[in-house]
Chain A
Amino acid sequence: MRIFSLLAHGLAVVGSAADSATRLFRSAFSLSCAALRIPRYRRIGTAVGALVLTIYLLSIGDIAVSVAGSQGGRGIQLTSVSQILQARAPYVFEPIAAVHGWGYVTLFVSPVNLLLGAGIAVLVAVNVAISAYSVRVVSACRTTSYSRLAGVLPVFLLGFACCAPTVLLLLGAGTAAALIPIFLPLRSLFYPLTIGLLIAALLWGTWKLRRTMSRGGQTTFSQ
């Protein structure tokens, strides 16, 4: 019976923690929505998010650029939709369409890659919007701290998440040989780790912001 009682207590603790986490997520969501309703922070977030998505697609090869204009293919190419969920590598999927731009640039369209990239981009955008607003609130409270901008640092993990051996080759075969044994086995962890850290950074940032705002007597967002 004692075991059941302990188990029930343990589960209740988990349940209470889930309640707290739910409140934290709700608070983060409402604060993020409020920050993005302000045009200035929405513009900043959108610009950074678009940049992150572009870099993400470049790093996994879904945007290919040739300065010499030597790319094959013209116009729009389509292939079997059945390949949509076929993985090329961890968290990298087959494209089902290619849009060629005169041999200089090609966009390979993989809906799953776009979705994964968009997930990262949205999280970075919200983190940046919240961080930018935090800087303003903190300045208003006459304290100086830019530490919240560090909330977007996890996105640099993406660099490793997307690093195929061929990307590492840009550093030279010798450097690639030194890095590959370390990064390849961990590669499949980097994407979920990036997502996890960005969410953690967002929760932390919004929690600190809410606390700073309540200390300063501020309850709503202002431009």
Chain B
Amino acid sequence: MSSTAQSGPNRRQVLKGAAVLGGTAAAGLVGWRVLSNGAEPRRGGEIRDELDKLADAVRQGGPGKDGIPPIDRPRFGGIGAVPFLHDDDVVFGLSYRGEHRAYPQLVLVWHEIVNDTVAGDPISVTYCPLTGTTVGFTSILGEHALSFGTTGNLVNSNLLMYDRSTDSQWPQILGTAIAGTLKGTRLTTHPLVWTTWRRWRESHPDTQVLTTDTGALRNYGSDPYGSYRNRSGYYFQDGVMFSPLRRSDLFPPKTVVMGVRHNDRQLAIEKELIRRDGEVRASIGNHQVLARWDPQLDTATIVDADSGEPADYMDAMWFAWFAFYPDTSVAA
């Protein structure tokens, strides 16, 4: 009897052990899937060119994919539709084919992307709070309209978007895919202006304004990064949260510059310089642009000096513009 007992372990204990190990393995698999949710696979391999270098510099920003939810069905109202907005709160103004729209910074800071349609054309209005950049993408590629989501990742502190058609990854400032099947493709942009709610609605009384009916629930009266109205928080501190690939001491990091692009050349004009001089004429290679101060909107706009058409430009924090375009020229 004792020899039988010593010859092998208790069958019940063996079954229990197998069940425990099996259960642990299953729980581990489930846990791994939860933990890896939203994590992007890192790119390996040798850095071949600038796009690969940027792709390799992608960092987690904290939220998961679409954890900062883009607005896919934006609702607009008249000037009375946003009672929480103060007169001096920042809005991003878009004028496109005779239509005027205001996108409150206090709404976009929670969403970063609005996949909108203006005058029948798809336009994705994008905002990155960490680099202070707002760009409208007339997101048509061939015959297809692209809509964008947030990856939750950053490159040079800048919003990294993905498109819903191919999952290619697009840094907002660059507007060029750095990974995916559309790698190297550049989107067409349309500029937006930074101004205040009062100035915009006085200039465009017929404006439509993006409401808080976004499909998500957020604390729309506040900004988690700071306040432009009270000049506080991240926007007015020297430090950056996510280290860029390159640094320049030419201006303090958060100095606002107007970044202009023409073909493969770039130019930065300090916004304060335009305010002071009223008008700045500069060249990008052989191409002339004209930067003008708009006293009514208290902001700068930039046009092609020859045609008068809007240039490809954006407001940007200096550190971010330089991180993407280290060869940028700078207007003195």
Contacts and interface: CB of A to CB of B under 8 A. Distances in A.
Given A11-B18, A15-B20, A18-B17, A89 B8 contact: no
A185 B225 contact: no
A119 interface: no
A70 B222 contact: yes
A70 B84 contact: yes
Contacts of A8: 8-9, 14
Given A87-B37, A169-B233, A15 B14 contact: yes
Interface string A83-107: 1001111101011111000010010
Interface string B52-68: 00000001111110111
A43 B249 CA distance: 58
B215 A80 contact: yes
A27 interface: no
A89 to B, nearest CB: 5
Interface in A158-181: 164-166, 168-169, 172-174, 176-177, 180-181
B238 interface: yes
Contacts of B15: 11, 15
Contact of A166 (B19, B34, B225): B225
B217 interface: yes
The SS class assigned to the B binding surface is: loop
Interface stretch (B163-171, B175-183, B239-247): B239-247
Interface in B83-107: 83-84, 106
Contacts of A174: 237-239
B38 A14 contact: no
Interface of A: 5, 8-19, 61, 64, 66, 70-73, 77, 79-80, 83, 86-90, 92, 94-98, 103, 106, 108, 164-166, 168-169, 172-174, 176-177, 180-181, 184-185, 187-189, 192
7 tightest A-B contacts by CB? Answer: A12-B9, A11-B17, A15-B16, A14-B17, A72-B84, A173-B239, A15-B13
